Amino acid sequence: MAVHVDVAMVRQVAKLAKLSLTDAELPDVARDLERVLELVAVLDEVDVQGVAPLVHPHELGLLPRADVPKPGLTQVQALANAPAQEDGYFLTPRVIG
């Protein structure tokens, strides 16, 4: 069963993904997304009754490491690619009052 994607849904998804789409672009994106979902909808035909959900394709589980500190980056290195910085901090536009 393919899902119907409307403009409002695209607007919501774009907002969550911090994408700026113009109103003119919305119908095209809606159509594209609908086609993607149609493609994936093939999977709905598989009978998965009694099959446990698979969260990861690997058989192997996590291999934890020992709790031993190792040196990381210096402050200068950490900030090297930041578009803006101030007194050793990353600086972003003011987020909240």
Partner 1 sequence: MSAFEAVIGLEVHAQLLTRTKIFCSCEVAIGGEPNSRTCPVCLGLPGALPVLNAEVVHLAVRAGLGTGCTVQLTSVFARKNYFYPDLPKGYQITQAELPICLDGQLLLDDGKVARIQRIHLEEDAGKSIHGESGTRVDLNRAGTPLVEIVGHPDLRTPDEAVSYLRELRGILVTLGVCDGNMEEGSLRCDANVSMRLVGQAAFGTRVEVKNMNSFRSVRDAIAYEMTRQVGVIADGLAVKQETRLWNMDLARTESMRSKEEAADYRYFPDPDLPPLHLDRIWLENQRANLPELPAARKDRYARELSLDRNTANWLCEEPPRADAFDRTVANAPELAGSFATFLMSQVQGQLQRHERPWSDVAEAMPTLLRICGKWRAGQLSNRMLAEVLQAGFGDSARTLGAALALAEAEAGAVVSDDAALEPVVDAVLGQFSNEVSKYRAGQKQLIGFFVGQAMRQLAGKADAKALAALLIRKLEG
**From the CB of residue 5, how many other CB atoms can be counted at a distance below 10 Å?**
19
Which residue is it, tokens 């600086």? 91
As measured in angstroms, the least distance from the Cβ of 8 to partner 1 is 13
Site string for partner 1, 45-84 (x = CB under 8 A): ----------xx-x-xxxxxxxxxxx-xxxx--xx----x
In the window 4-23, what residues touch partner 1 (CB under 8 A)?
Answer: 12, 16, 18
- Residue 44 is given by DSSP the state G
Euclidean distance between CA atoms 24 and 74, whole angstroms: 46
Residues that bind partner 1 (CB under 8 A): 12, 16, 18, 55-56, 58, 60-70, 72-75, 78-79, 84, 86-97
